[in-house]
Amino acid sequence: MKAPTRKALGMKLHEYKGKDITIRYDAQRCIHAKKCVHGAPAVFNPEARPWVSADSAEARSIAVVIQRCPTGALHYQAANPELAERADPSNTVTTSPEGPLYLRGNIRVVTDAGAELLSDTRMALCRCGASKNKPLCDNSHFAVAFDDPGVSLPGPDAGKEMVTSGKLQVIPTTDGPLHLQGQITIRNASNQVIFEGTEAWLCRCGASASKPFCDGSHERIGFKSQ
């Protein structure tokens, strides 16, 4: 897979080069999920400087851990082409309890006018409405005490997860919801499939009574996406 692109969203990119793998870290996208710290503590040590040591584990094991990063803050380039990162075969959205929407698959975030903001295989999108890095999550849900356990019940469209190689397009509409276009499976925080289809409108103002789906509450509360 080619490196993720990010055209209209700021980034704080750092590279840590090892003999067999180069680790790329975007501090702007990190929300400290700690999958890396727990998965490979010899490589990812927040107390060390630098905090990443690309030669402290085998490249293959590092690649596995990085692909667990739910936000896309971590990526890598391995000397062995067999280790190249590939998008998940299914485009999925998972609602986290009191937290963001985690997306995995072949994902492209674009503006209302179609300009690309971000293309990646993993990302975390804000659903509390408070992020200063919209549409990405920046952990503001903690500051505003966002309250939603993410346990919506499966709907009538829920069934077996779809497998697709197509792109999922995400449009953070101006002062409105996230408009998803493309084959998508949505799961709740209990990992139950609650929706499958090719189009969905997801709340990002934090006020919907039918989370993770939009119910028009953004208009009532005067949500602003900028």
DSSP assignments along 106-132, one per residue: EEEEE-TT--EEEEEEEEEE--SS--T
At 12, the pLDDT band (50, 70, 90 cuts) reads: confident
pTM: 0.92
CA distances from 217 to 94, 96, 128, 129, 136 (A): 21, 20, 12, 12, 20
**What CATH number has the domain spanning 5-82?**
3.30.70.20
Cα–chain-centroid distance for residue 74?
11
Q: What is the mean pLDDT of residues 107-124?
A: 96
Q: Are 76 and 22 in contact (CB under 8 A)?
A: yes
pLDDT of 164 strictly over 90: no
User: Do 170 and 110 touch, CB atoms closer than 8 A?
Assistant: yes
Model confidence pLDDT, tens digit, residues 129-163: 999 999 999 999 999 999 999 998 876 655 555 55
Contact 134, 126 (CB under 8 A): yes
User: Which pLDDT band holds residue 115 (cuts at 50, 70, 90)?
Assistant: very high
CA distance 39 to 52: 13
Residue that the structure tokens 């082409």 belong to: 81
pLDDT of residue 211: 97
In this structure, the chain runs to a length of 226
The identity of residue 201, as a single letter, is W
- Per-domain residue ranges for the chain? 5-82, 92-221
Helical H runs in 81-183? 140-143
